[in-house]
Every structure is written in C-alpha cells, then in structure tokens.
C-alpha cells in the first residue's frame, strides 16, 4: 500500500515539474505583414501600378511622408523570453517604389540591419520654469488668494497678472 502512495506522489511531483518547466518556455509571435513570396514575386517593375500592388499585396503598413510616396510593408518575428520584455528576433521591410505615373519602379527587401537602435533617457525631461517641490506645489498658494485686498489689480508676472 505504501509503494502505491509513493508512486502517486512521484507522478504528482513529475507532473508539477513538467508544468513549471513548460511555463518557462519562450513565446514566439508574428507581428505585421505576412510575406507571401509568390505574391511578392508577382509584382513586376514597369508592369504593375499602385492599384495592382494594392490588389496583390494589400494596403501597406505605412506610406512615406516625404519625397516620393513609397509603400512599406513591415514584418517582425518577436520572441518573449520568460519574465522579460518582448524583443524583435527578425524583421523584414519591403519597400515598393513608384514613379510619377504611379508605376512600380522597384521592390526592395531589407532586414534588421537598417534599424537604428536608440536608448532614450528615462530620467526627468528638462523644462523651463521654476523647480518646485511637492510641498511647494501643494501649499504654494496659501495666503496668495485675496492677499492684494479688495479692488486692487493683481501685480504678478503672468498674462492675467497672477
């Protein structure tokens, strides 16, 4: 009887360990445009135009804002390790360039080598003006309201004299 209990306990522990280890695996996800190589190969420079590209590839992820109105299709593979932030594992950017007559000039395919990695400063953003503490913000106007007396105009540097 005792051997059966040990076997059940061992099986329960093995199941718990397998569940915990399974929860520590990375999650892979796809974001953005799904690239179909057959559809991409069917877009031909000099033959296709904006309308045919939209019918073949769909609406772009975004369109360039300056210069020629190129279309961009962005595809990312994202990996999320356990207990950490997601990070981009691979990225592909398709650029469809058009001429003035809206005909396709070229289709470029690039990877993550063109991505600029920036590290923004997470500290305080400097601003103009007075640096006040929390207590000055909370209690700074005590005594200032009505201190000028009745009938007198405010004398402060602000636009309304405050």
Nearest CA to 60 out of 73, 45, 51, 46 is that of 73
Whole-model pTM: value is 0.58
| CA 59 from centroid of its chain's CA atoms | 20
Strand boundaries in the chain, DSSP class E: 27-32, 62-63, 71-80, 87-98, 104-110
CATH number at residue 58: 3.30.1450
Residue 30 lies inside a defined structural domain of this protein: yes
Give the rounded distance of the alpha carbon of 122 from its chain centre. Answer: 16
DSSP 104: E
Give residue 79's domain range: 25-113
Q: What pLDDT does residue 153 have?
A: 62
Residue 135 within a domain: no
2-16, 70-84, 88-102: the lowest-pLDDT one: 2-16
Predicted pLDDT of residue 133:
81
Residue 43 lies in a domain: yes
pLDDT digits (tens, 9 = 90+) for 63-83: 998 888 899 999 999 998 888
Determine the longest span between alpha carbons in the chain, in angstroms. Answer: 97
Q: Decide if 90 is inside a domain.
A: yes
Name which of 44, 72, 42 is nearest 60 in CA terms.
Answer: 72
In the predicted structure, residue 39 carries a pLDDT above the cut 80: yes
134 inside domain: no
Could you give the C-alpha distances from 126 to 83, 121, 130, 132, in angstroms and in order?
A: 33, 11, 11, 13
Q: Average of pLDDT values for 95-122?
A: 85
In a domain, 58, yes or no: yes
| Token digits of residue 128 | 């103009």
> Is position 45 within any domain?
yes
Total structural domains within the chain: 1
The pLDDT of residue 95 is: 92
Q: Average pLDDT for residues 25-35, to the nearest whole number?
A: 86
Is the confidence at residue 149, as pLDDT, over 60?
Answer: no
> Model confidence at 56, in pLDDT bands (50, 70, 90)?
very high
End-to-end CA distance of the chain: 87
């Amino acid at each position: 009887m005792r051997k059966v209990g040990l076997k059940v306990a061992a099986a329960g522990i093995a199941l718990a360990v397998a569940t915990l280890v399974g929860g520590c695996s990375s999650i892979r996800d796809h974001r953005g445009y799904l690239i179909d190589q057959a559809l991409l190969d069917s877009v031909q420079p000099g033959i296709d135009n904006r309308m045919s590209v939209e019918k073949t590839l769909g609406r772009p992820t975004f369109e360039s804002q300056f210069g020629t109105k190129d279309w961009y299709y962005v595809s990312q593979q994202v990996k999320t390790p356990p207990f950490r932030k997601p990070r981009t594992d691979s990225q592909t950017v398709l650029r469809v360039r058009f001429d003035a007559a809206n005909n396709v000039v070229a289709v470029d395919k690039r990877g993550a080598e063109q991505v600029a990695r920036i590290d923004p400063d997470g500290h305080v953003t400097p601003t103009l003006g007075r640096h006040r503490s929390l207590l000055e913000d909370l209690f700074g106007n005590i005594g200032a309201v009505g201190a000028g007396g009745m009938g007198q105009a405010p004398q402060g540097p602000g636009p309304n004299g405050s």
